[in-house]
Amino acid sequence: MSWTDERVELLKKMWGEGQSASQIAKELGGVTRNAVIGKVHRLGLSNRAGATPAAETKPKVEAKPKPEPKPKAKPAAPKPVEAAAPAPEPKPEPTPAPVSTMPARKQIIPAGQPLPPQPSTNEISPEALAKVNEVEKKAKKLTLMELTERTCKWPVGDPATDDFWFCGLPVQQGKPYCEAHVGVAFQPMSARRDRRR
């Protein structure tokens, strides 16, 4: 594969959007993330402008045994990091049912802000729920930044509280959640359709 205009365009676009090199490489196909990074540098658009997505962009311009001084004078671009949607990619999800299954054992007073509508836990198979509660015990409890493409992104707890984290267990192939959470997130389109219409 070569860097055709289109491919470069996509590269620029995605890089601008904060997509990681590996994601871009995956998208483009036929190239590795190294190729992408190499190209990015050659194109001179190393420094990402925009926002710090879920990936990483750290000022780790540290000392490296490099005999070549680099005239790297670039205007510092202050950017308000928006703490918004963690998902840079809109992924179609059948029945996203991120339910914070909070055992009533903790009466935390939420910050009092409107939480996203949370589908009731009914309509979900008891087995699945049991499984979830089971799993949440050994969840890795990752923070937003620690999520990757293969860590379960199931939110647990109240975001307004310290008692909030993401499952973090290995996701099911292609899904954003681990097996257990996929079970409650993706309903078979009708856990029990209105038999008879």
Contact call for residue 62 and DNA (CB under 7 A):
yes
Q: Which is nearer to DNA, 44 or 126 (CB)?
A: 44
Compare residues 157 and 168 and give the one whose CB is closer to DNA: 168
Nearest-angstrom CA–CA distance, 133 and 190: 22
Is 28 in contact with 16 (CB distance < 8 Å)?
no
Candidate list 9, 16, 46, 106; residue touching DNA; CB under 7 A: 46
Least distance in angstroms from the C-beta of 112 to DNA: 32
Q: Which of 16, 50, 56, 115 touches DNA (CB under 7 A)? A: 56
- Residue pair 119/144 in contact (Cβ under 8 Å)? The answer is no
Site membership for DNA, residue 51 (CB under 7 A): no
Is residue 64 a contact residue for DNA (CB under 7 A)? yes
Q: Report residue 4 as tokens.
A: 């055709």
DSSP H helical ranges for 43-158: 126-135
| Whether the Cβ atoms of residue 139 and residue 168 lie closer than 8 Å to each other | yes
- Taking the complex as a whole, the smallest distance from the CB of residue 18 to DNA amounts, in Å, to 8
Phi, psi at residue 144, to the nearest 5°?
-55, -45
What are the distances in angstroms from CA 112 to CA 20, 151, 163?
35, 29, 15
**From 38-46, 126-134, 180-188, 189-197, span contacting DNA (CB under 7 A):** 38-46
Q: Which stretch binds DNA (CB under 7 A): 39-47, 132-140, 177-185, 186-194?
A: 39-47
CA 119, 123, 128, 133 dihedral sign is: positive
Give residues 113-152 in contact with DNA (rule: CB under 7 A): 148-150
The binder of DNA chosen from 5, 6, 29, 65 (CB under 7 A): 65
CA separation, residue 141 to residues 30, 54, 111, 182 (Å): 35, 16, 21, 17
How many binding residues for DNA (CB under 7 A)? 35
Residues found near DNA in the complex (CB under 7 A): 1-3, 19-23, 31-35, 37-42, 46-47, 55-58, 60, 62, 64-66, 68, 70, 148-150
